[in-house]
Each structure stands twice: as structure tokens, then as C-alpha cells.
């Protein structure tokens, strides 16, 4: 069995020691996020008296610091034994948008490496969109 999988599925998760593998450390971050998403979805489903969650729709900004692939992987683990077992995680990635004080408009940046307006090259530090990570909706089976 893959040691990473065995590691994250263990109960003593918070005290689990790092193996010096970047994958393990990165996955720990996504795993705690996945647990947070599952907790919120379970709460929403319970409130709606649902027996099962079919899918969770999530929005992630490019600056949220979340690796979608790792999050999907961790989501499956976090779902085990909950109302979400077997459900899908649908991720919508939101682009990075900043305010350009020179162009006087919001501009979308092609990446997170350079915070400069692609049109006029003015440095832009006012982030308007791209940091968010939120659950848009929870699909339930009535
Ligand atoms: Zn500009």
C-alpha cells in the first residue's frame, strides 16, 4: 500500500510525523481543508434531512493556495464513513483579478508570478478576486 495513503487514513492524524516527502506535507494541508469541506457539507445535508450527498461544488481562487488534484485525492479520504461517501467534488477555479489604478479597471492576471497589469505594466497589489475558497452548493439525495 502506498505509505502516503496509509499515513493520511490513520486516526492519529494530527500527531503524524512528517516523512520528509513534500507530497505528504502538501497533502496534509489539503487534507485538513477536505475535512473542513466535508464537515460543512455534512452540516448542510443534515439540516436538509438528506441521507446522502451526491456532490459538492467548490470555488477556489488561484491565490487560495490549494492544489485541486491533491484536494480531490484528500476529499475521497475525508468522505469515508460520512454522508458524503462516494460523492463528487466539483472544483471551479477562479482567475486572479486585480485593480489597475492606471487603467482604472479590473484586470485578470495570467499567473501569480507577476502582479503587473498586462496592459500598462503598472504594479497592481489590490486583489479583487482569487483568494476565495468556498462551497457554492451541496447536491443532496432527498
Ligand atoms: Zn493597467
Alpha carbon of 63 to ligand 1 centroid (Å): 20
* CA nearest to 62, candidates 114, 126, 131: 131
pLDDT digit string, tens, across residues 81-102: 999 999 999 999 999 999 999 9
- CB 83 within 8 Å of CB 52: yes
Predicted TM-score (pTM) of this structure: 0.72
pLDDT digit string, tens, across residues 1-51: 333 333 333 333 333 333 444 556 667 889 999 999 999 999 999 999 999
28/136: higher pLDDT: 136
pLDDT given for residue 9 in this prediction: 32
CATH number of the 3-95+129-141 domain? 3.30.2320.50
Alpha carbon of 103 to ligand 1 centroid (Å): 4
Domain locations along the chain: 3-95+129-141
Amino acid at each position: 500500500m502506498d505509505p502516503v495513503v496509509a499515513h493520511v487514513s490513520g486516526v492519529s492524524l494530527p500527531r503524524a510525523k512528517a516523512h520528509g516527502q513534500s507530497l505528504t506535507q502538501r497533502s496534509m494541508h489539503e487534507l485538513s481543508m477536505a475535512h473542513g469541506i466535508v464537515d460543512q457539507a455534512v452540516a448542510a445535508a443534515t439540516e436538509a434531512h438528506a441521507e446522502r450527498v451526491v456532490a459538492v461544488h467548490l470555488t477556489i481562487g488561484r491565490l487560495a493556495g490549494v492544489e485541486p488534484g491533491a484536494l480531490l485525492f484528500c476529499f475521497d479520504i475525508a468522505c469515508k464513513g460520512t454522508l458524503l461517501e462516494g460523492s463528487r467534488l466539483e472544483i471551479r477555479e477562479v482567475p486572479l483579478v486585480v485593480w489597475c489604478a492606471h487603467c482604472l479597471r479590473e484586470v485578470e492576471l495570467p499567473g501569480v508570478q507577476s502582479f503587473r497589469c498586462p496592459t500598462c505594466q503598472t504594479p497592481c497589489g489590490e486583489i479583487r478576486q482569487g483568494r476565495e475558497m468556498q462551497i457554492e452548493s451541496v447536491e443532496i439525495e432527498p
